[in-house]
Structure 1
């Protein structure tokens, strides 16, 4: 009576149930229930007495198959989710659990497999992963908007203000030097008047790109300070090194050869005021800004297209 009840339960189960023979090479299936037939599209006669690897077709590069192989080899239980393929070629996600069956001597004679079609669940999980990834991408995008200049793509004033405070505190703690270069595009108002604001925007983008490619250290960065003004913050340079560096910035913009008829050189140029300061514990962070701003004013007074430091 109990055998009949068990048999009826297996035959009426909504889950696919299989039994394989571990005493025969290749562990072939010797029994499948009707639910397994419906799930796969194969009949009992087609799929018994052979190994069930046909369910993966050519899709054998699945890490879970190695887990199943090792479990059978060791006579252990395992639970995996596989990409399986029905007789008509359609793919479905199969949650497979296999359990060993022992004889009276403790040897594994068979494995019983329980198969569940979990395709709807996997589709929902994938959709949730995609949505989560999209949200993460949007989060990164908005974070970038918060710290990047919308026109030039380099850092903005907000990021610079935050980083200046941070870098000054680090420099104070370590006794390091910081170099701040304040950069102004020469005669930019007249450039806009002559060539138009779209050309002005394109010129700013090219200047920003030139400045952004000039860094000598990974911690250096450029930011758009406002309008046609830019700043560069760098650490660890002595004053003579900083002088060579900012002169190369001026030359880099000259090399762009952006025509500007109102300029004495015939091309767009920049003026730079820079300050190099070694910080102690009592030095305020705005000392760099004040000195660099004064130096920029003097660079313009001296004829532009040059750098100057107090």
Structure 2
């Protein structure tokens, strides 16, 4: 599936698609997909980074995390979105559950490998994953489920991936 690049300018800081793009295109994307997966990605302890090192450095963290997400969430069937603040979303069409879980783990690890001018700083992310193969509506239930899994990842200690499960949450 090819994503349209209309509906809003890219996020000015990161160059990723923005939430407006997602809102305008989610129904069309989901209606033509057999499987739709959302990775909801949030920078851990971002307020502390901003408070300790300042907002310009916080912007640098957002930019470099976004660049890393963009390396993995682009192409014919993946798209990276800056969802808001320090939160990102990767939307994947017709990928296997194994591949999406592996990709989430890869992103999580890759972000810990970013080097910073502040030697002791290690930036991490938590990721919630939700996949829909049952219905093809353009509602935001899938995003809500990925968000629930993200909050579970935060609650479980951060710097981890949690796949949405009705029983788990």
TM-score under structure 1 length normalisation = 0.48
Residue number among 261, 274, 277 corresponding to 2:132 in the alignment: 277
1:267 paired with 2:129, answer: no
Q: Is the 8 A contact 2:81 2:89 kept in 1?
A: yes
Residue number among 60, 64, 67 corresponding to 1:209 in the alignment: 67
Greater C-alpha radius of gyration: 1
1:215, CA displacement in angstroms? 3.3
CA offset digits 1:115-174 (Å, max 9, x no partner): xxxxxxxxxxxxxxxxxxxxxxxxxxxx98932101111111101112222211112xxx
Counterparts of 1:169 and 1:234 in 2: how far apart (Å)?
Answer: 13
Corresponding residue number in structure 2 for 1:168: 30
1:156 paired with 2:18, answer: yes
Corresponding residue number in structure 2 for 1:293: 147
* Cα 1:145/1:237, change in 2 over 3 Å: closer
Corresponding residue number in structure 1 for 2:90: 232
Counterparts of 1:291 and 1:239 in 2: how far apart (Å)?
Answer: 15
Q: Answer 1 or 2: which has greater helix percent.
A: 1
Gaps of 5+ in 2: 165-169
1:178 paired with 2:36, answer: yes
Gaps of 5+ in 1: 1-142
Counterparts of 2:115 and 2:28 in 1: how far apart (Å)?
Answer: 36
Specify the SS of the correspondent of 2:37. Answer: strand
1:276, CA displacement in angstroms? 1.1
Q: Is the 8 A contact 1:260 1:268 kept in 2?
A: no
Q: Which moved more, 1:272-281 or 1:189-198?
A: 272-281
1:286, CA displacement in angstroms? 1.8
Specify the SS of the correspondent of 2:109. Answer: helix
Corresponding residue number in structure 2 for 1:248: 106
CA offset digits 1:226-277 (Å, max 9, x no partner): 110000101112222211110001011111133586xxxx401110001011
Specify the SS of the correspondent of 1:304. Answer: coil
TM-score under structure 2 length normalisation = 0.86
1:146 paired with 2:8, answer: yes
1:218, CA displacement in angstroms? 1.6
Residue number among 212, 218, 225 corresponding to 2:76 in the alignment: 218
Counterparts of 1:188 and 1:153 in 2: how far apart (Å)?
Answer: 20
Counterparts of 1:154 and 1:203 in 2: how far apart (Å)?
Answer: 15
Specify the SS of the correspondent of 1:181. Answer: strand
Aligned length: 159
- Structural RMSD (CA): 2.1
Counterparts of 2:131 and 2:76 in 1: how far apart (Å)?
Answer: 18
